[in-house]
Structure 1
């Protein structure tokens, strides 16, 4: 037998013996997952058959330490999905809302393409082709599918079921070029007028307006907060009596499937917790709302339903869409006010200040997703060109 140094998963020179039955025995030393070299053998009718049997046997040996995992490379992909979701729940590091989002994306986007495959059949080429096909339909759907597929296969690698994560080598998704859509001051005023008309008590279809929608819009414009963060503002978070009125952004509204809508005691990210000085128009709107709030407790929500429960973000979006559609205004979402604020602060001051107001840790996020590009070149260029070329010949 060969005395060569073996690495994990390799075997030495194959030797052959004759068995008492007349069959040929092929054997070789194989260096296992624990670094120890072991003798492995297989039999066949003749040398070639025995060698083929031995190599097949060696190929099936695991390079990994045996674990208690119920998964193997031949496990169906749905078994990994179930195992991954259970592992996420045990870790407890993601919110319930994120868990539901992961489960939905895996069920609707990934499983239809991978449910009939075993884990060993899922390679780089298959994952790459899947994402490219999905991206042709929707970049966002492809991005969401990539996240859950990478996480699930990453678990298989960590538990030593797969040697590598094929998602580490797929092509980068190309996001379609798009510019953040923000409102102009004139468009903001048109929206204000439309909401004021609806809240004025004129005969309109649907429930009678309670005056909250206009205040919600003013607070979004005055804080740059997300809709869920605005709906989570409590009486204790508000200071409109100081020389500089402010609102503390310290939570958000969440609606988990099958559970009542509730206030979560932290916003989307840790950096999102912040105290924002608010402009006079927002402070005045908040004062009017506080005057109508009949619950004096510090934890009373500024915005709530007639039953005293938290407003859902979906209902506010639906109401805003309904009110503006009656005025012939389409395409306005609560998040657009956040982009509008970022654009205004960037144009009047700097992108760094806009990022701080929005609670972003990286101004590049603000630039890429929130600030509308100003296509007007600085008029100073005209003055400079006039100085150089404007002289009379």
Structure 2
């Protein structure tokens, strides 16, 4: 009968011998990760001490991983970060903007706290304490830090440099309670009036109007689309016979690169066709007349040369106009929450989630719909029937 094969990470019989130097040497055959059995030895003053040292050496070899690089448990954390970023580039699955965001979060949030540590020194307690301290400053920063730290350490686990990912066992981050806010119809009309005043060419300082901000707002109100999705709309995405707009792209501005149209929105469900209300259709018709081109690939909103507008430029214009009008807290995303709230109040959260392109209505409820504090007035009639005084008071 053939002898059973020794599994990887095990050692055979330990033998000891005293060397001429007086030290005792313990040795064994250890089967490494590549399947090859190699001689491992350790020396100490006594046989017992040498055996303990040998077993510790074997245990340490058991943590080493067959990585494509030179990472080991004693590697500095910055080496893992560099390896992780290279791995992201090798996979090529992330959008450029997402990859840059990950690198920024890693370098600004995580590395300052972990740069002096080896991978072996990064445990659950250290990660837990780091995230809790960061959450005191900002829940968003702690959330972003947790994402990139977990991804980097997950790579070390996959390559068997570390036995587990400590971030998987930290305490849950608790988001501060927030109530989504939305604009009222009166506030929407005030914003429209402020933009119209600015676009009429009134002599005010700051960015000069190009006649597009008003139409951009009307499209956001009529589609619930994100600002990047609105700026990515092309002539070919518009059907004024229905009328409708197809949301199928977004605008991205990678660091150090030109702003471009990305041929897909944030998620697969974000790709959708929306029938637009009359006020949006009117704004789109006026904008199409201003464009002066029938090129189906032409962007609805663009610079004079036809290049994409940046989302930051639109936000800057909106802030400027709202400052002139004495309004605060108006952002492109607030229009999205306003639309979600209006649709929910009249037709329910399922339709609101569908319009926003959300994969889960829970996201719509938690982040986009302003809570209606008015309890259904039918309760008054029910309680009257149940507890009204019988006869004269």
Is TM more than 0.5 here? Answer: yes
1:27 deviation in Å? 4.1
- Give the structure-2-normalised TM-score: 0.92
The separation in 2 between residues aligned to 1:203 and 1:116, in whole angstroms, is 55
1:38-62 per-residue CA deviation (whole Å, 9 max, x = no partner) reads 6643232223432343233223323
1:194-213 to 2 correspondences below 5 Å = 194-213=194-213
Aligned residue for 1:138?
A: 138
1:79-128 per-residue CA deviation (whole Å, 9 max, x = no partner) reads 11111111101110001001110110011000000001111111111111
Aligned residue for 2:317?
A: 319
The separation in 2 between residues aligned to 1:36 and 1:306, in whole angstroms, is 67
Aligned residue for 1:283?
A: 281
| 2:223 is aligned with 1:223 | yes
8 Å Cα contact 1:263/1:310 also seen in 2: yes
The separation in 1 between residues aligned to 2:39 and 2:306, in whole angstroms, is 74
- Residue 120 to residue 291, structure 1, CA distance change in 2 (3 Å): same
Q: Which moved more, 1:302-311 or 1:128-137?
A: 302-311
1:224 deviation in Å? 0.4
| 2:213 is aligned with 1:174 | no
Q: Which moved more, 1:134-143 or 1:22-31?
A: 22-31
The separation in 2 between residues aligned to 1:207 and 1:32, in whole angstroms, is 66
Aligned residue for 1:354?
A: 352
CA root-mean-square deviation: 2.3
The separation in 1 between residues aligned to 2:349 and 2:76, in whole angstroms, is 49
SS of the equivalent of 2:62 reads coil
**Paired residue for 1:331, among 329, 332, 340?**
329
| 2:62 is aligned with 1:62 | yes
The separation in 1 between residues aligned to 2:365 and 2:344, in whole angstroms, is 9
- Give the structure-1-normalised TM-score: 0.92
The alignment of Structure 1 onto Structure 2 pairs a total of residues equal to 389
| 2:313 is aligned with 1:308 | no
1:94-243 to 2 correspondences below 5 Å = 94-240=94-240, 242=241
SS of the equivalent of 1:60 reads helix
The separation in 2 between residues aligned to 1:118 and 1:208, in whole angstroms, is 53
8 Å Cα contact 2:77/2:119 also seen in 1: yes
The separation in 1 between residues aligned to 2:205 and 2:22, in whole angstroms, is 93
The separation in 2 between residues aligned to 1:82 and 1:64, in whole angstroms, is 19
The separation in 2 between residues aligned to 1:68 and 1:206, in whole angstroms, is 54
SS of the equivalent of 1:164 reads coil
- Residue 41 to residue 206, structure 1, CA distance change in 2 (3 Å): closer
SS of the equivalent of 1:276 reads strand
8 Å Cα contact 2:259/2:310 also seen in 1: yes
SS of the equivalent of 1:271 reads helix
1:7 deviation in Å? 7.0
- Residue 152 to residue 171, structure 1, CA distance change in 2 (3 Å): same
8 Å Cα contact 1:69/1:159 also seen in 2: no
The separation in 2 between residues aligned to 1:47 and 1:328, in whole angstroms, is 83
**Paired residue for 2:389, among 369, 379, 391?**
391
1:323 deviation in Å? 0.2
The separation in 1 between residues aligned to 2:201 and 2:33, in whole angstroms, is 76
1:31 deviation in Å? 5.6
1:326 deviation in Å? 0.8
The separation in 2 between residues aligned to 1:192 and 1:145, in whole angstroms, is 39
The separation in 2 between residues aligned to 1:90 and 1:65, in whole angstroms, is 20
Aligned residue for 1:366?
A: 364
The separation in 1 between residues aligned to 2:389 and 2:196, in whole angstroms, is 55
The separation in 2 between residues aligned to 1:96 and 1:222, in whole angstroms, is 29
The separation in 1 between residues aligned to 2:23 and 2:247, in whole angstroms, is 79
1:233-284 per-residue CA deviation (whole Å, 9 max, x = no partner) reads 11111111x2x30001111111111111111111111111111000111101
1:369-388 per-residue CA deviation (whole Å, 9 max, x = no partner) reads 11111111001111111222
1:8-47 to 2 correspondences below 5 Å = 9=9, 15-19=15-19, 22-27=22-27, 30=30, 32-33=32-33, 40-47=40-47
Q: Where does the alignment leave 5 or more consecutive residues of structure 1 unmatched?
A: none
- Residue 35 to residue 378, structure 1, CA distance change in 2 (3 Å): same
